[in-house]
Amino acid sequence: MSSNDVAVAGVGMHPWGKWGRNFVEYGVHAARAALADAGVDWRDVGLVVGGETVRNGYGGYVAGATFAQALGWNGATVATSYAACATGAQALDTARARILAGMCDVALVVGADTTPKGFLAPNAGERWDDPDWLRFRLLGMTNPAYFAMYARRRMDLYGATQEDFARVKVKNARHGLANPYARYRKEVGVDDVLGSAVVSDPLHLLDICATSDGAAAVVLTSMDYARRHGLTQPVRVRAVSTVTPTFPNTVLDMPNLSTDPSTAVAPPARTFKESIAHAAYEEAGLGPEDVSLAEVYDLSTALELDWMEDVGLCERGEAEALLRAGETTIGGRIPVNPSGGLACFGEAVPAQALAQVCEVTWQLRGQAEGRQVEAARVGITANQGLFGHGSSVILSV
């Protein structure tokens, strides 16, 4: 056990869907579920970290205090984190840091969102210095358009096909059937995916994740607190990586319109996405060969294949072969997205990195009924937000 470990004492979620209610309601539901799972009284929580949700007004901007008030003021310290889609992992790292510093024994991390219909877009208003706004205004580059560029890149570099992308959706849909928190719980076939509307060539509607309402929460404690309260073998956070790119960043990242030039300085040894998991492995003292399962960020089916390589589950260009051989399904060598992934959940931005941690925790405890990865010992998550926000969390038993 590392001196940097903290215990995952409890996890909880609110089912994802389109419920049309305030994000606070979802967050409180998830928080109470996590507290109950941990057997921790709300009054014992010393820190609340909320994942900011920019679409939900002032309450969303100060999410830590919003959730603390909704649960009932208890005098806890609060913090609010924002890192786009990596918000949950950054919030988790904030809580972990205070626990490791000896400033807190019990922390509650909550992320929740209520999303608009359709793909996510920048907030309203003209902001000529905002790349996220400019990509819509100047290029019409929605999120699915970026996903399609990454998919086309895989096709050109590695010979991936639309059928390969469809197989990712088929696998994740099958995984999500047994997940009570998933929004979509319906089996689909390759023909269903290829027969759905083209959104941005080569990606079809069923290749791209939806936007959802939902919430996830995690209770972290110090290892000493866990032992004192009878948690003798808890799931442990072994590493949290929130690294940024290294110049020059020569692979286009959303929402940027171009890459850094590499004429004067050679590209780094690792791409940004590769560096995210690498930093987590370094901190944990583990490697891809130790991983039992991975929860990765399948905004599109093609992106799941990229992430498999970015986190070191296979070499570049080998992800399709693993997929076709059934190695990434439950029962295969390295199950990827046993939760069903974003294919079954959709995006609820401040919650999704925490939802990955919830799933890995259930898997490592042997509690993922109907989708359990046998003898799971180590799990990794991978996630990326706008503007160089990356995250990876490694958990183990």
Give the model confidence (pLDDT) of 123-133 as tens digits: 788 999 999 99
Give the model confidence (pLDDT) of 102-126 as tens digits: 999 999 999 999 998 888 888 788 9
How far from the centroid of its chain's Cα atoms is residue 368's Cα?
Answer: 18
For residue 283, with 0-12 CB atoms within 10 Å meaning exposed, 13-18 middle and 19 or more buried, which class applies?
Answer: middle
Instruction: Give this prediction's pTM.
Output: 0.97
Mean pLDDT across the chain, nearest whole number?
96
Q: What CATH superfamily is the domain 6-118+213-233?
A: Thiolase/Chalcone synthase (3.40.47.10)
On the question of pLDDT at 257 being above 80, the answer is yes
Q: Which two tokens stand for residue 5?
A: 């470990």
Residue-level length of the chain: 397
Q: Phi and psi dihedrals of 90, rounded to 5?
A: -65, -40
Residue-level pLDDT at 77: 98
Report the sign of the C-alpha dihedral through residues 244, 247, 251, 256, in that order: positive
Give the model confidence (pLDDT) of 304-362 as tens digits: 999 999 999 999 999 999 999 999 999 999 999 999 999 999 999 999 999 999 999 99
Give the model confidence (pLDDT) of 125-178 as tens digits: 899 999 999 999 888 899 999 999 999 999 999 999 999 999 999 999 999 999
On the question of pLDDT at 9 being above 80, the answer is yes
Q: Would you list the domain boundaries of the chain?
A: 6-118+213-233, 131-208+238-396
Residue-level pLDDT at 3: 76
- CATH number 3.40.47.10 is the correct assignment for the domain at 131-208+238-396: yes
End-to-end CA distance of the chain: 10
